Structure formats: C-alpha cells, structure tokens
C-alpha cells in the first residue's frame, strides 16, 4: 500500500547533481582507467588515499583489512596501478576459495608428475607475478603449513615448485587482505605471528560504509553514472534519487558495504522506469531498517557519547536551530513548527544563547558535512515540511 507521505515526497533535482569526488590519484594519467574509481571524501578515506600515495612506489608489503565489500581489492589495484610495477601483472589469488592441498601448487606451480593429475608442468602465481604484484586475498584462511612457505617467499623472494628442488627467484610485491581479525587468529594459534608482522608492514584499514555516511551520496552518484555509461539504451539519462529516498539510504546500515550499495543502485536503475527513484521504490528491508535507525541517534552507539543530559541539550538546540532556519528566524512560525509556545521558544533561545546563530542562518547541510557529527543528531526527519531540511546540493 502506498504511504500517504510518499505522495508528498519531493524530488530534489539538485540532490544528485554534485560532481563525483575522485581523489587526485584517480586523475593520474598513468593509472589504468579501470582502477581510477575510488570514491571517498571522508577523513578515513583521505587517510587511505594518502597511504596509497606514499606506499605505492615502494616494495613494502601492505595488509589491507576491513569488512567485506569495503574496497580492499580496489585499494590493492590502486596501489599496483600507481607503482612502477604497473606495466607488469597484478596477480590475484583468493586463498579462501581454493582447498589448501591445491593452493600450494596454485601459488608455487608444480612439475609434471608431482602429484596425481599433474600431467603437465605448470607455473604458479608467484612466477606469473614476477616483476609485478601479487594480491593474496583472504590471507587469514591460509593453512599453517603454507604460511611457513609464504614466510620464506617474503624473506628471501624464492621458492621451489611442487615436485622440484630447483630454487626460483622472483621480484614481487605482496599485498594481502583479510576481513578477519588476524591478532585474534594469532592468539588462537591459527595464524603465525612472524608472518603477520612481515605482511603488516603497511597496514590499511578500510572503513565500513556505516562509518562514512557522508560519502554515500557521492558513491550513489558514481554508481548512477556508471550505470548510465553501461546502459545500451540511447538517450538514457542518469537517474536521480528523491530526497526522502536518499535520506533512507543514508540511514541504512549497509552490512554488505559498498558492494551492497552498488548492487542496489544497479537493480534500481534497471527496474525503476521513472527518472527519479523514490522512497517507495526502495526494498522493504532497507525502508524498515532505516526507519528503526532514524529513531536511534547514531551517537549513542559511538564511544564519545556525551552523556544523556548533554545529548538532550544538544538535541533541543539542534531542533530549535533547524526550525528557526526553516522559518527564516520568524520565531512565531518556528514555534508553530515545533508545536511549542512562542514565549517558551524565546526563553530557550536566550537560555541556550542561540541568537548568534541567526547570522549563519543561510547555511545548509552540504555533502561535505558529516550527517552524524559527534554530539549532534540528524533530526531533520522530525521537522518534515515541504521545504527540504537537508540540501544535498554542493
């Protein structure tokens, strides 16, 4: 059934007109265009970009950690593409996807007759990556036996093929990734501590999408542009999200991180016929979970939760300021919007010393604002009016 408020849903044509923000490394002509697409402006991503720039042209091992779908492989590719090894291969091996008996021959290669079924000699991934980079994904799933052999490659850059005594020397850069907590794995004895330190010379932690909500509009815009570019239909215009749909996506927790977001945008771009994707077009799961989150301020879940009284003060302050901004500081109108007595509002403005904010009333939320700043709440949903309370325009 259609929700009444859906009818009121306003489209904010500006909401997706912002330019996608790609980091400077993304414009580096030397990079393969396929790997120029790392989107992010939040502080954590800026740190990731800085690290990529600093380490790319070194041979140091890099360990990329982060939840599934946060961009670990994309980051590994950006490192390789920005290194002087870029003209050689980046070989990818998912250590979790291959049974450990086969992983050894996959990594090191084998000689003919090394084991049943080895009818031909075969070079392994380390040899393929000679001069380039090897990306060992899901490194936490590697068996202890292979961990020892990998340690030797890291220390001496040499190994033997399975079934051979001939030592092969390679020049490779090793980047690995995991969504597991390797420190815990060390404690439980499933991961070697010495290997961990060798792999973790440069650590990069990819932030979960839930921690970088201010990047969600940028990512959505990027994926919409990508869909448009891939679309076969002539004259297909880039779709947009209504303000309410966008807020709902920002509020959602994204357990599958950027991969989940990307897949959703692809699905909606194909299935929604109209130019604007609205709240009612979103999957029920996202609408439900986002609604629950809307009622729980993010800050409660943060470590720097200021305490109940301070949080309530801050909440009141924000609510009043937003109402005043929406009504152009006409206090009677703001009081009506807040469903409170005008004199009570005036008293509160004085008590909270809010007069000085009047000069800044033109200021609206922009994409560069954190939607959830520590100690502040996003309370726009409490003040739903025809006028957008959050402008996602640059």
275 to 304: interface string for ligand ATP, x by CB under 6 A: ------------------------------
Nearer to Mg ion, 72 or 86 (CB): 72
Q: Which residue carries 């909270």 as its tokens?
A: 352
Instruction: Supply angle C-alpha 28, 223, 376, rounded to 5.
Output: 95
Per-residue three-class SS string for 107-173: HHEECCCCCCCCCCCEECHHHHCCCCEEEEECHHHCCHHHHHHHHHHHHHCEEECECCCCEEECCCE
Task: Verify binding: residue 258, ligand ATP, rule CB under 6 A.
Answer: yes
d(CA 323, CA 232): 46
Nearer to Mg ion, 137 or 376 (CB): 137
Least separation in angstroms between CB 176 and Mg ion: 11
Q: Which of 11, 66, 108, 265 binds ligand ATP (CB under 6 A)?
A: 66
Q: Which residue carries 């005594």 as its tokens?
A: 165
Nearer to ligand ATP, 6 or 41 (CB): 41
228 closest CA partner among 282, 275, 260, 281: 275
Rg over CA atoms, the chain: 26
Nearer to ligand ATP, 66 or 297 (CB): 66
Q: Which two tokens stand for residue 191?
A: 């991961």
162 closest CA partner among 123, 227, 105: 105
**Which window, 95-103, 129-137, 238-246, 285-293, contacts Mg ion (CB under 5 A)?**
129-137
Nearer to Mg ion, 135 or 159 (CB): 135
Nearer to ligand ATP, 68 or 157 (CB): 68
Q: Which two tokens stand for residue 92?
A: 């990818």
Helix (H, G, I), strand (E, B) or coil at 91: strand
The site partner of 367 among Mg ion, ligand ATP, none (C-beta below 5 to 8 Å per kind) is none
Least separation in angstroms between CB 75 and ligand ATP: 7
CA distances (Å), origin 51, targets 64, 156, 167 = 11, 26, 34
DSSP letters of 215-274? GHHHHHHHHHHHHHHH--STTPPPPEE-HHHHHHHHHS--TTHHHHHHHHHHHHHHH--S
Nearer to Mg ion, 111 or 137 (CB): 137
Q: Which of 16, 25, 31, 38 binds ligand ATP (CB under 6 A)?
A: 38
Task: Verify binding: residue 140, ligand ATP, rule CB under 6 A.
Answer: no
Task: Verify binding: residue 106, ligand ATP, rule CB under 6 A.
Answer: no
The site partner of 68 among ligand ATP, Mg ion, none (C-beta below 5 to 8 Å per kind) is ligand ATP
**Which window, 37-45, 111-119, 283-291, 309-317, contacts ligand ATP (CB under 6 A)?**
37-45
Please give the size of the binding site for ligand ATP, defined by CB under 6 A.
18
Task: Verify binding: residue 72, ligand ATP, rule CB under 6 A.
Answer: yes
> Which residues within the stretch 61-90 sit at the binding site for Mg ion (CB under 5 A)?
72-73
Task: Verify binding: residue 39, ligand ATP, rule CB under 6 A.
Answer: yes
Residues at the interface with ligand ATP (CB under 6 A): 37-40, 66, 68-74, 179, 219, 222, 258-259, 262
């Amino acid at each position: 059934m259609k929700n009444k408020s859906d009818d009121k849903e306003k489209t904010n044509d500006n909401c997706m007109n912002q330019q996608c923000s790609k980091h400077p490394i993304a414009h580096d002509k030397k990079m393969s265009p396929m790997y120029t697409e790392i989107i992010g402006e939040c502080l954590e991503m800026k740190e990731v970009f800085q690290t990529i720039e600093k380490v790319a042209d070194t041979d140091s091992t890099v360990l990329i950690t982060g939840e599934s779908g946060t961009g670990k492989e994309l980051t590994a590719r950006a490192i390789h593409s920005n290194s002087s090894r870029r003209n050689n291969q980046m070989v990818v091996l998912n250590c979790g996807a291959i049974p450990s008996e086969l992983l050894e021959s996959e990594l090191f290669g084998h000689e003919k007759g090394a084991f049943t079924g080895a009818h031909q000699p075969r070079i392994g991934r380390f040899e393929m990556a000679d001069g380039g980079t090897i990306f060992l994904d899901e490194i936490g799933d590697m068996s202890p036996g292979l961990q020892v052999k990998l340690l030797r490659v890291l220390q001496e850059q040499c190994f033997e093929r399975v079934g051979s005594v001939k030592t092969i020397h390679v020049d490779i850069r090793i980047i690995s990734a995991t969504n597991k907590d390797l420190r815990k794995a060390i404690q439980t004895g499933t991961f070697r501590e010495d290997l961990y330190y060798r792999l973790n010379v440069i650590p990069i932690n990819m932030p979960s999408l839930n921690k970088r909500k201010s990047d969600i509009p940028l990512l959505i815009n990027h994926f919409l542009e990508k869909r448009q570019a891939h679309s076969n239909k002539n004259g297909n215009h880039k779709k947009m999200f209504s303000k309410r749909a966008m807020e709902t996506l920002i509020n959602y927790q994204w357990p599958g991180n950027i991969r989940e977001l990307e897949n959703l945008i692809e699905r909606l771009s194909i299935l929604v016929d109209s130019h604007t994707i609205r709240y009612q077009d979103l999957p029920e799961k996202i609408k439900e979970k986002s609604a629950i989150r809307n009622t729980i301020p993010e800050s409660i879940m943060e470590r720097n939760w200021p305490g109940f009284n301070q949080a309530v003060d801050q909440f009141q302050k924000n609510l009043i300021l937003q109402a005043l901004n929406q009504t152009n500081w006409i206090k009677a109108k703001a009081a009506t919007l807040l469903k409170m007595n005008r004199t009570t509002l005036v008293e509160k403005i004085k008590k909270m010393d809010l007069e000085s904010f009047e000069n800044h009333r033109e200021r609206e939320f922009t994409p560069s604002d954190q939607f959830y700043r520590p100690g502040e709440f996003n309370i726009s949903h409490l003040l739903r009016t025809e006028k957008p309370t959050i402008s996602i325009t640059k």
